[in-house]
C-alpha cells in the first residue's frame, strides 16, 4: 500500500464555514431546533423552486423517505424493482413487509428494463420502484404506460438524480412519488437528509404527518408514522449549500468531460455519455471494465488503483439480489438478471467531486492507462 495522499471516490463539498455562522446565530436566536422550524420551511420552499417541483417534504435521510413513500401510498404485496442499486432501495420494501420482485436492467442505461416488467407482474403486484441509477433517467414514459395499464403505482428512487432535467422538465415530476437523498456523499447534501416529492397538497400534508409520528395537530394521531424530521442545523446547512450547488455541478461536469476525453480509446473500457436532452448532475462516474479487452479484471484494476491510494468503488456490486436477505427469492436468480449480473461484475466508479484537482484527476487517468494490458 502506498503512503501517498488518498484519492477517495467522493469528498463532501463543504460550503465556507464563516458563511455558516450567521445561520447558526439565527437558530440560536430562534431557539427552535427541529419540528418544522423556520430553516426547514425555507429550505422546502427553496428546494422546490430550485428543483422545479411543486411539493417537497424534507426527511432525515433518503432511506426513511423511501420507507415513508411506500407507507404514504399504502403499498403492499409485491413491488417490481431493480437489483442494480444501493441496498436501501430494496430494504425500504422489506421494512414495509413487501416482497421485492427483481427485474433485469437495460444494458445502456443500467436502469430497470421496461420491456421485462410486464412478465414479472402478478395479481399481487401493486407498484414499480425504479431507480435513476447514477442520475441517468429511466424510461419514464414506458414505465408510466405499463403502470397505467396494470393499475400500479410508481415510486422513483431518485437518490442520485438531484438537479436532473429532461427536456427542461425535472425528472422528479415523474411517477406518483420520487425520493431524494441528501447524504454527505451526494451532489447536494444536508449531511444526512432526503426528501419526498409529490404532486398535490393533500399528499404533502399526509407525508408531513407521517414523518412526525402520524400526528395531525396536537391531539390526533392518524396513522403509525415515524420520526424522520430534518433538524434546523442541517436545514441551514442545506440552505447555504444550495447557493453553491450549481458551481458543484459545473465542476463535476468538467471532470466527467476530462475523463471522457482522456480515457477515450482505452481498450476494454466503456463509459456512459450524456443522454440527449438531459441536464445531468454527474453524481457518479462509472466505467465498465471488460477483462479480455482491458487485459485485467475489474477487481484487479480496483486493487491496482488502491495500491496507488486511489480508492474507487464498485457501486453497485454485489447486486442487491445477491445479499442473504434476498437471494432466495425466485426473481433473485442470476439467470433472471443476466445484464445486471454482467454490469455489476464490470463496473467501477471513479473519483468525482468538485474539489478533485487536475493533478489527482491526471493521476487517476494515467494509473488506469498504466494498468491496461489490452
Binding site residues, ligand T4K, CB under 6 A: 8-12, 61-63, 85-86, 88-89, 131, 157, 159-160, 181, 183-185, 194, 311, 315
Question: Smaller CB distance to ligand T4K: residue 55 or 86?
Answer: 86
C-beta of 87: minimal distance to ligand T4K in Å? 8
Question: Smaller CB distance to ligand T4K: residue 211 or 268?
Answer: 211
DSSP category for residue 37: -
Q: Which residue is nearest to ligand T4K (CB)?
A: 62
- Cα separation of the two ends of the chain: 25
Beta strand 165-166 with 7-8: parallel, antiparallel or unpaired? unpaired
Question: Smaller CB distance to ligand T4K: residue 85 or 178?
Answer: 85
Question: Quick check: bond before 316 cis, omega within 30?
Answer: yes
Residue count of the chain, please give it.
374
C-beta of 218: minimal distance to ligand T4K in Å? 30
Q: Please, what is the Cα angle at 207 between 204 and 211, to 5 degrees?
A: 140
C-beta of 86: minimal distance to ligand T4K in Å? 3
| DSSP-assigned states of every residue in 188-255 | S--SS-EEEEESSHHHHHHHHHHTBTTEETTTEE-S---B-PPPHHHHHHHHHHHHHHHHHHHHHHHH
Phi/psi class of residue 230: alpha, beta or left (left: φ > 0; alpha: ψ in -120 to 50)? beta
Question: Smaller CB distance to ligand T4K: residue 236 or 320?
Answer: 320
Read off φ and ψ for residue 152, nearest 5 degrees: -105, 150
C-beta of 170: minimal distance to ligand T4K in Å? 17
Question: Smaller CB distance to ligand T4K: residue 57 or 63?
Answer: 63
C-beta of 343: minimal distance to ligand T4K in Å? 15
Question: Smaller CB distance to ligand T4K: residue 133 or 332?
Answer: 133
What would the grid cell of residue 331 be? 426473481
Question: Smaller CB distance to ligand T4K: residue 9 or 266?
Answer: 9
Read off φ and ψ for residue 238, nearest 5 degrees: -65, -40
Task: Say whether 319 sits in a helix, a strand or coil.
Answer: coil
Amino acid at each position: 500500500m502506498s503512503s501517498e495522499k488518498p484519492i477517495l471516490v467522493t469528498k463532501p463539498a463543504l460550503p465556507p464555514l464563516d458563511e455558516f455562522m450567521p445561520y447558526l446565530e439565527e437558530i440560536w436566536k430562534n431557539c427552535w431546533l427541529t419540528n418544522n422550524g423556520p430553516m426547514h420551511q425555507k429550505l422546502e420552499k427553496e428546494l422546490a423552486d430550485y428543483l422545479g417541483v411543486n411539493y417537497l417534504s424534507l426527511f432525515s435521510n433518503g432511506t426513511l423517505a423511501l420507507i415513508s413513500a411506500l407507507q404514504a401510498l399504502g403499498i403492499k404485496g409485491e413491488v417490481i424493482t431493480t437489483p442494480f442499486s444501493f441496498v436501501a432501495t430494496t430494504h425500504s420494501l422489506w421494512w414495509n413487509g413487501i416482497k421485492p420482485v427483481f427485474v433485469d436492467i437495460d444494458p445502456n442505461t443500467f436502469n430497470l428494463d421496461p420491456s421485462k416488467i410486464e412478465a414479472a407482474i402478478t395479481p399481487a403486484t401493486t407498484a414499480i420502484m425504479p431507480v435513476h441509477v447514477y442520475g441517468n433517467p429511466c424510461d419514464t414514459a414506458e414505465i408510466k404506460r405499463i403502470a397505467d395499464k396494470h393499475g400500479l403505482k410508481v415510486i422513483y428512487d431518485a437518490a442520485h438524480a438531484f438537479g436532473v432535467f429532461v427536456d427542461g422538465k425535472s425528472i422528479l415530476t415523474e411517477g406518483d412519488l420520487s425520493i431524494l437523498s441528501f447524504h454527505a456523499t451526494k451532489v447536494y447534501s444536508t449531511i444526512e437528509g432526503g426528501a419526498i416529492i409529490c404532486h398535490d397538497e393533500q399528499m404533502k400534508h399526509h407525508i408531513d404527518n407521517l414523518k412526525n409520528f402520524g400526528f395531525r395537530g396536537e391531539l390526533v394521531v392518524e396513522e403509525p408514522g415515524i420520526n424522520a424530521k430534518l433538524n434546523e442545523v442541517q436545514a441551514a446547512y442545506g440552505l447555504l449549500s444550495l447557493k453553491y450547488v450549481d458551481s458543484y455541478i459545473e465542476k463535476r461536469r468538467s471532470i466527467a468531460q476530462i475523463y471522457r476525453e482522456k480515457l477515450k480509446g482505452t481498450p476494454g473500457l466503456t463509459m456512459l455519455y450524456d443522454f440527449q436532452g438531459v441536464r445531468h448532475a454527474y453524481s457518479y462516474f462509472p466505467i465498465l471494465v471488460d477483462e479480455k479487452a482491458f487485459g485485467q479484471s475489474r477487481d484487479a484494476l480496483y486493487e491496482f488503483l488502491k495500491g496507488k491510494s486511489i480508492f474507487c468503488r464498485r457501486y453497485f456490486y454485489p447486486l442487491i439480489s445477491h445479499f442473504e436477505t434476498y437471494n432466495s427469492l425466485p426473481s433473485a436468480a442470476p439467470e433472471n438478471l443476466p445484464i445486471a449480473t454482467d454490469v455489476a461484475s464490470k463496473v467501477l466508479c471513479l473519483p468525482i467531486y468538485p474539489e478533485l484537482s487536475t493533478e489527482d484527476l491526471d493521476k487517476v487517468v494515467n494509473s488506469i492507462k498504466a494498468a491496461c494490458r489490452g
